[in-house]
């Protein structure tokens, strides 16, 4: 049996057929362990780290960073028994073994961590993998490396680095390897890749301490309560360097820049085009006085059990949508050709603008969550999206979406439906405006809602009633809760 195993780009799920190599986490000659992250790949939905299926020594890297490869394409060759002596020189350049099936995400997820990695202290989140990285499953782990800017088409790849020559007259001819990126030495700035028990993470959140800026003094380098308290008291701590700003546009002699359409942007374009020209869109608008809702938020923030919770107007909008769905279930449905599929569960999508483009992760079964649970879920969703760690699973299965365009200072919009959904709500900026209140013109806090819906499923009456209910809740949330629940 051949010592050289060819690792093909695995099926990452969700119907994805290709991925772009963002960064190699290993280089030719490196000794790697089972389940060690070896490459970061960007798909149309997320950037994921792929772990090694075998332990051994890297013999060849077949594609440089910035290359888009199809699922099943060989990307790396691994010598699974480097201690057995020099490799026999093959007659031709190493090619992928035809009898090796393409590993799937499920098969990779089933790979166990090698015993040499040791056990993680009970309660720690994010066990250490070789090289100090966090051992993660495909598509579900924290990203601890900064995304690299990909070269344009035609750019010259990084200079190849040869594997260490074995003691033999003829070195083994293998596919041209590519140098791995140099480490920048910066500490991680997100809390997903550090070791800390849940109570410690809660304490850090309560005290406003970023775990990513601390150096742990506990077992395996984990963050302890004392580390967090020391940071909160202003004592000397190790602070991570800020991430470099986005590179400025580079224009050619013709003063034009050509940006390849790929990854999230490509998927978004395809989805929006398909939705816009498949589902007949109708958009309605409603301007409402949300002064009472904003005061309710202030009272909520003042309660002791809510002082450590992120409370924003989006939370009340999400709650309003979930209650309105209970009153009008047809809004939470999908057009399936010869039938309409009405869903009892609500996977509430929240549109998020990221450096990689527009993504819409969703809160699973949001209608079953309490207000506090919903607040925590929204906070986690937004923070994960901003850090670029949203998994493909978190962006699939959405049933109804909110787009908070108000954060950009605009009043509302005419959003396009995500494919498979029948309604999307645009939440505009909350502004102080003159408003007739109790027969007098007063300055009130006002916002405008825009509801786009699939007219094949939702007619004008249903869409109007749903939007009116969302507006009624935001106008007087306490009264709506008493009346509807």
Residue-wise pLDDT tens digits, 278-327: 788 899 999 999 999 999 999 999 998 898 888 999 999 999 999 999 99
Residue 125 has pLDDT above 60, yes or no: no
How would residue 229 be classed by pLDDT, with cut points 50, 70 and 90? low
pLDDT tens for each residue of 375-393 = 999 999 988 888 878 887 8
Query: Across all residues in the chain, what is the average pLDDT?
Result: 75
* Helices 313-327 and 291-302: angle between axes, nearest 10 degrees: 110
**pLDDT value at residue 171:** 45
**Between 384 and 476, where is the model more confident?**
476
Spatial separation of the C-alpha atoms in residues 99 and 378, rounded to whole Å: 45
What are all long-range contacts of 459-464, with beta carbons under 8 Å and residues at least 24 apart?
A: 460/282, 460/284, 462/328, 462/330, 462/331, 463/282, 463/284, 463/331, 463/423, 464/284
140: three-class secondary structure by DSSP: coil
pLDDT score for 220: 56
Annotation says 455 is catalytic: yes
Cα 236 to Cα 71, 186, 231, distances in angstroms? 48, 18, 7
Buried b (16+ CB within 10 A) or exposed e, 188-220: bbbbbbbbbbeebbebbbeeebbbbbbebebee
**Do the beta carbons of residue 53 and residue 108 sit within 8 Å?**
yes
pLDDT at residue 62 tops 80: yes
Lowest mean pLDDT among 6-20, 110-124, 307-321, 465-479: 110-124
Model pTM above 0.75 = no
Answer with the residue of higher pLDDT: 82 or 400.
400
How many Å apart are CA 271 and CA 292, to the nearest integer?
A: 38
Tell which wins on pLDDT, 274 or 424.
Answer: 424
- Taking the C-alpha atoms of residue 147 and residue 246, their distance in angstroms, rounded to an integer, is 11
* pLDDT band for position 175 (cuts 50, 70, 90): very low
On the question of pLDDT at 26 being above 50, the answer is yes
pLDDT at 151 over 50: no
| Distance (Å, whole) CA 332 – CA 346 | 7
pLDDT at 157: 45
Please state the rounded mean pLDDT for residues 97-126.
Answer: 41
Average pLDDT value for residue range 177-187: 38
Q: Is the pLDDT of residue 237 over 70?
A: no
Residue 264 has pLDDT above 70, yes or no: no
Angle at alpha carbon of residue 410, lines to 441 and 361, rounded to 5°: 125
Residue 350 has pLDDT above 60, yes or no: yes
The per-residue pLDDT for 180 is: 39
Residue of 63, 281, 437, 455 with catalytic role: 455
Mean pLDDT for 124-146 is: 40
Q: Considering the chain, what percentage of its residues have pLDDT values greater than 70?
A: 67
CA 212 to chain centre: 18
pLDDT (0 to 100) of residue 342: 96
What size, in residues, is the chain? 485
Integer Cα distance of 476 and 185 in angstroms: 52
So what's the pLDDT on residue 288? 97
**What CA–CA distance (Å, rounded) separates 72 from 79?**
19
Is residue 244 classed as helix, strand or coil in its secondary structure?
A: coil
Residue bearing the bigger pLDDT, 97 or 456: 456
Per-residue pLDDT at 124 exceeds 60: no
Whole-number Cα distances in Å, 349 to 277, 285, 330, 403, 449 = 21, 20, 17, 8, 16
Q: Is the per-residue pLDDT at 159 higher than 60?
A: no
Percent of the chain exceeding pLDDT 90 equals: 35
User: With bands split at pLDDT 50, 70 and 90, how would you rate the model's confidence at 138?
Assistant: very low
Give the residue, 454 or 241, on which the prediction is more confident.
454
Structure tokens that stand for 186 in this block: 């910066």
**What is the torsion angle, in degrees rounded to the nearest 10, for the CA atoms of residue 385, residue 328, residue 281 and residue 452?**
-50
Q: Please, which pLDDT band fits residue 241 given cuts at 50, 70 and 90?
A: very low
Residues 6+ apart with CB under 8 A from 481: 323, 473
What tokens were used for 270? Answer: 């395809």
User: What is the model's pLDDT at position 467?
Assistant: 97
Q: What is the pLDDT of residue 363?
A: 95
Least confident of 13-17, 32-36, 70-74, 101-105: 101-105
pLDDT confidence of residue 214: 73
Pair of tokens at residue 429:
């900026």
What is the Cα–Cα distance from 466 to 340, expressed in whole angstroms? 18
pLDDT of residue 274: 76
Average pLDDT (148-159) is 44
For the cut 60, the answer to whether the pLDDT of residue 6 exceeds it is yes
122 φ, ψ to 5°? -55, 135
b/e 36-71 (16+ beta carbons within 10 angstroms → b): bbbbbbbbbbbbbbbbbbebbbbbbbbbbbbbbbeb
CB 431 within 8 A of CB 410: no
């Amino acid at each position: 049996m051949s010592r050289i195993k060819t690792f093909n780009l695995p099926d990452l799920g969700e119907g994805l057929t290709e991925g772009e190599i963002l960064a190699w986490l290993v280089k030719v000659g490196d000794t790697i362990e089972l389940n060690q992250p070896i490459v970061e790949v960007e798909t149309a939905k997320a950037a994921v780290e792929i772990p090694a299926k075998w332990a051994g020594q890297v013999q060849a890297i077949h594609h440089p960073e910035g290359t888009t490869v199809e699922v099943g394409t060989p990307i790396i060759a691994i010598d699974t028994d480097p201690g057995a002596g020099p490799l026999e020189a093959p007659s031709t350049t190493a090619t992928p073994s035809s009898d090796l099936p393409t590993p799937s995400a499920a098969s990779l997820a089933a790979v166990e961590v090698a015993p040499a990695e040791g056990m993680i202290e009970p309660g720690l989140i994010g066990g250490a993998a070789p090289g100090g990285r966090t051992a993660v499953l495909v598509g579900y782990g924290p990203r601890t490396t900064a995304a690299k800017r990909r070269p344009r088409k035609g750019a010259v790849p990084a200079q190849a680095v040869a594997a260490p020559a074995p003691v033999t007259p003829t070195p083994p001819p293998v596919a041209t390897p590519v140098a791995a990126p140099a480490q920048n030495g910066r500490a991680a700035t997100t809390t997903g890749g550090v070791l800390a028990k849940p109570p410690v993470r809660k304490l850090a959140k309560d005290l406003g301490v970023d775990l990513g800026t601390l150096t742990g003094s506990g077992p395996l380098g984990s963050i302890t309560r004392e580390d967090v308290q020391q940071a909160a008291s202003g004592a000397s701590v190790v602070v991570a360097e800020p991430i470099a700003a986005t590179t400025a546009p580079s224009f050619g002699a013709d003063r034009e820049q050509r940006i390849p359409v790929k990854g999230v942007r490509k998927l978004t374009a395809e989805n929006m085009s398909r939705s816009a020209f498949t589902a007949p869109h109708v958009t309605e608008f409603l301007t409402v006085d949300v002064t009472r809702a904003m005061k309710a938020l202030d009272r909520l923030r003042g309660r002791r059990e809510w002082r450590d919770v992120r409370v924003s107007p989006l939370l009340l909008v999400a709650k309003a949508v979930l209650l309105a769905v209970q009153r009008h279930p047809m809004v939470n449905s999908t057009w399936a050709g010869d039938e309409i599929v009405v869903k009892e569960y609500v996977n509430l999508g929240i549109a998020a603008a990221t450096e990689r483009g527009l993504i819409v992760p969703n809160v699973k079964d949001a209608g079953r969550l309490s207000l506090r649970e919903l607040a925590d879920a929204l906070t986690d969703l937004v923070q994960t999206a901003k850090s670029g760690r949203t998994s493909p699973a978190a962006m699939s299965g959405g049933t109804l979406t909110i787009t908070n365009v108000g954060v950009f200072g605009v009043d509302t919009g005419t959003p396009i439906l995500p494919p498979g959904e029948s309604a999307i709500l645009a939440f505009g900026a909350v502004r102080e405006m003159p408003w007739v209140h109790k027969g007098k013109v007063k300055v009130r806090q006002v916002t405008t809602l825009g509801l786009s819906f699939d007219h094949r499923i939702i007619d004008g009456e249903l869409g109007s009633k749903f939007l009116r209910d969302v507006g009624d809740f935001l106008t007087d949330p306490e009264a709506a809760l008493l009346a509807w629940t």
